[in-house]
Amino acid sequence: QMDVKTAFQIGDLEEKACIVQLKGFVMKGNENMGCRLKRSIYGLKQALRSWYLKFDGTIKKFGFQENIEGNCIYSKFKNGRFIFLILYVD
């Protein structure tokens, strides 16, 4: 079991998303401009989906297969041994 504190910052965004400049980081002369996000952040509607797609693609590169019956359950069989990976997001 493990907890990833910055999990939602790992996913790449496929669509354009912008936010207002954060307090303390406002550029003088450009106060009315926003920031375009290249990666997801916690609280963004797309954050969970973009993180899942990144995780799914990465774990499959290691030879895991997603269970047909249930999402977020991965398995890997090799040389008579097996590994089950169960993904739970709270």
Instruction: Give me the tens of pLDDT residue by residue for the chain, a chain 90 residues long.
Output: 666 666 666 667 777 877 888 888 888 888 888 888 877 777 777 777 777 888 889 899 999 999 988 778 999 999 999 999 988 776
Phi, psi of 8 (to 5 degrees): -75, -10
Question: Whose CA is closest to 72, among 59, 88, 61, 60?
Answer: 88
> What tokens were used for 27?
């550029």
pTM for the complete prediction?
A: 0.64
Q: Where are the domains of the chain?
A: 7-86
Instruction: Please report the pLDDT score of residue 82 as a whole number.
Output: 93
CA angle, residues 43, 44, 50, in degrees to nearest 5:
120
